[in-house]
Chains A and B, each alone.
Chain A
Amino acid sequence: MNKKFLAIFAAKQAGFWSRIMGRGGGAALPGLIAMKIYPEIVTDLTKELGKGVVLVTGTNGKTTTSKMIVEILKANGENVLSNSGGSNLTRGIASALIERSNIFGKIKEEIGIYEVDEATLPKITQFVDPKAIAITNIFRDQLDRYGEVDKTADILRQALKSSPNATLILNADDPIVSSLALYPVIPDAAEGSFKSHEEKEIPPLSTNIEPVEMTKTKNQKNVIYFGINDEKLKAKSDLAIDIKDCLICGTELVYPHRYYGHIGEYVCENCGFKKPKTSITAKNVQLSPIRTSANIKIGRENANLVLPMIGLYNLYNALAAVTAGNFFKIKNTVTFKALNNQKPAFGRMETFAVNGRKAVIHLVKNPIGFNQVLEAITEDRKSKTALIALNDNFADGTDISWIWDSEFELFKNDFRKIMVSGIRSKDLRLRLKYADVTSKIIIEEEDLDTALDQAVKNTNQGETLYILPTYTAMLQIRKKLVKQGILKDYWSN
């Protein structure tokens, strides 16, 4: 008790001073200090959350999905604690808990939504016993940190093993994610005994507040799958596909419909591994430059989602959030209203006006995310400009070779001017040259602050400036915009 008290006290002090000194909101430091003094701090404080904890992980969409789940729960009157937008490492979760805790370790909030970095998941599951774990997707990302996609999948599989009570909320359209539910089966795959784990029909539901049917895997794990079922959707880019082979038997997967990357409807003609049946399904997807709409089937219910966000990837995030809402037995009407009113997360499609020009920030961090963002913004057929900013600090990923897996070739005629900036601006400049982007429309300026000014200057009235930065570049750009009073400091939100 003493140590816990001391840990919270010291951490709160650190958070206070860190804010006073203008060193950000103290997303990591308080947690780091508390864990040094009292390593069980996350376990202890999480127990305060009487209705349980949901962990949200995956390569792309963690922050947005967590934020959506929080909004849905809040719309239902729940008291929610979340680290979303802050640090998604253990220390970040500890910081979020300490911030909401009083000095005696009491917390008013009842539900925790923890956004968790993929590599951190096994650590978090040692500290907490989550009610559910939602996984959005697994793509190549920051290969300098994780090594490889297969390794990421292994890390997640290991974490799921140590969370026997958690219901899994999984993206059925991502074979790497859907295969995670099969973890006891995979090591024996060589024996070739695998049968599709999902065979029974899901019966329709009588009311809209009952949870949808879960799938029981061989190891008695509860899984709810979400996904998209729309034959009109077709992947534009063939690049950066991480998996073409069945994770169970190694045969090449067949994709009757591929939406993007390795996401879609897939089947292994050898062993039967295939996209599992979904309980939450999006149909009739409509993509536009400002919103994404779809018809969502939840058990027997149907509802129209009009998400004020662009791109299929955000639809998947919303589906994960709908599934989480259903898991907490929240009425569909509440869930959909919350989603229809979504505001973008930190640096994800934040829209603002600067010098009378419209500008939008889209964080980019890996080739699939980049291709998806480019695909979504080029739905905007009006004249537009872009500022692409590539940094290679640790938080960005120090290996920038992924820009060669981004298909700039497909979008080279979509912008009137493209500015490249950041520590690796010259690499971007080179990438654009080899994508056959005419040098007349490219401006290179390594210094981000100058580049932002130039980008605004080079954007005409009526045009939209799309700002596509990696993580630390996004922080720097936001900082400048906050200083100019154009954006709000994230921590004051």
Chain B
Amino acid sequence: MPIQKLTIFHLYPDAMNLYGDRGNVITLVRRMHERAIDVDLIEIKRGDKADFKYADIVFIGGGQDRGQRVITPDLARRGKQIKSEVEKGLVCLTVCGGFQLFGKYFKTSGGEILEGISVFDACTVGSDKRCIGNIVIDISAQKWRSDLKTLIGFENHSGLTYLEGNTKPLGKVLTGYGNTGDRTYEGAVYKNCFGTYLHGPVLPKNPQFADHLIQTAINRRYGSWAPMKKIDDSVEIAAHKAAITRAKTAKTIHI
């Protein structure tokens, strides 16, 4: 079997690094290494050259308002290429602030408009309330994998994200607030581009979702490939289950 290699682009690890989001990258890399997949992890900061043709998985995390503001012009310059690669199946995981900027725009509660790159047909409007707390969503309807039913994480956002057109929600809220704070839907999916407010970070405690991203990227790069070998996920699954239980008992705050 030829050696497989995937390239991860981690966008703005300096400005968008608020909620332990590097844990997502750690998880992807570790899970690839366990399958003997070579990983090229490339951190892309403002002004860096990057050709998204070479990317297999793009990750962008959450940031403060200031972080979002400073990356907006740089992201805009890359928008067209990212969009065209997403059309061709590029796998992206966008979290919190990154998710918002992959939509059309983010109008802050102060009225400022941050232009997004419109990968998602979605707009985000700042509100004066924050949705904070543990969140569990049901994504079984996606039918990606038989063992991928729920995602667990922590949400903390004042922006409310409304989806339109071909952009569909990632899951249904079981516990928590979700995109629009009304406990209905959470996240976004367009082709292989995923958006979510779940941090915690999201991938370590949802290992099957991490594997779905990796498998999709492998299939795209190397054609249909046999499913990756299973690895011991007992620690991950125990944490996933405990977090679901905790989400039911811990209070969430809406301030």
Contact = CB atoms under 8 A, between A and B. Distances in A.
A144 B22 contact: no
A250 interface: yes
B64 A149 contact: yes
A429 B235 contact: yes
A399 B19 contact: yes
Contacts of B156: 143-144, 147, 399
A405 B64 contact: no
Contacts of A430: 204-205, 235-236, 239
Contact of A401 (B15, B70, B199, B236): B199
How many interface residues does chain A have, given as a range? 20 to 34
Given A147-B130, A392-B250, A401 B19 contact: yes
A423 B246 contact: yes
Contacts of B64: 148-150
Contacts of A403: 20
Given A245-B70, A399-B156, A392 B246 contact: yes
A427 B243 contact: yes
Interface stretch (B23-31, B115-123, B136-144): B23-31
A209 interface: no
A394 B250 CA distance: 9
Contact of B66 (A150, A405, A431): A150
Interface of B: 14-15, 17-23, 26-27, 30, 64-66, 70, 130, 132-134, 154, 156, 158, 199-201, 204-205, 235-236, 238-239, 242-243, 246, 250-251, 253
A404 B70 contact: no
Contacts of B19: 143, 399, 401-402
A151 B178 CA distance: 23
A123 to B, nearest CB: 16
Given A144-B253, A430-B236, A404 B205 contact: no
Contact of A245 (B23, B66, B199, B253): B66
15 contacts: A144-B253, A240-B17, A244-B15, A245-B15, A367-B20, A400-B154, A402-B19, A404-B201, A427-B242, A429-B235, A430-B236, A430-B239, A431-B204, A434-B26, A439-B235
A404 B18 contact: no
A353 B99 CA distance: 50
Contacts of A329: none
B246 A401 contact: no
A140 B66 CA distance: 14
Contacts of A439: 235
Q: Chain B: interface secondary structure? A: mixed
B10 to A, nearest CB: 14
Contact of A426 (B14, B199, B200, B238): B238
Interface string A114-140: 000000000000000000000000001
Given A150-B65, A244-B15, A426 B242 contact: yes
Contacts of A429: 235, 238-239
A250 B70 contact: yes
Interface in A370-404: 392, 394, 398-404
B135 to A, nearest CB: 11
B90 to A, nearest CB: 25
Given A392-B250, A434-B30, A402 B20 contact: yes
B30 A405 contact: no
A142 to B, nearest CB: 11
B154 A401 contact: yes
Contacts of A143: 18-19, 156
Given A245-B70, A427-B205, A427-B239, A434 B18 contact: no
A161 B206 CA distance: 46
Given A430-B235, A430-B239, A434-B27, A401 B200 contact: yes
A488 interface: no
Contact of A398 (B27, B134, B239): B134
A399 B134 CA distance: 8
Contacts of A149: 64
A216 interface: no
B20 A404 contact: yes
A433 interface: yes
B70 A405 contact: no
A396 to B, nearest CB: 11
Contact of A148 (B27, B65, B70, B133): B65
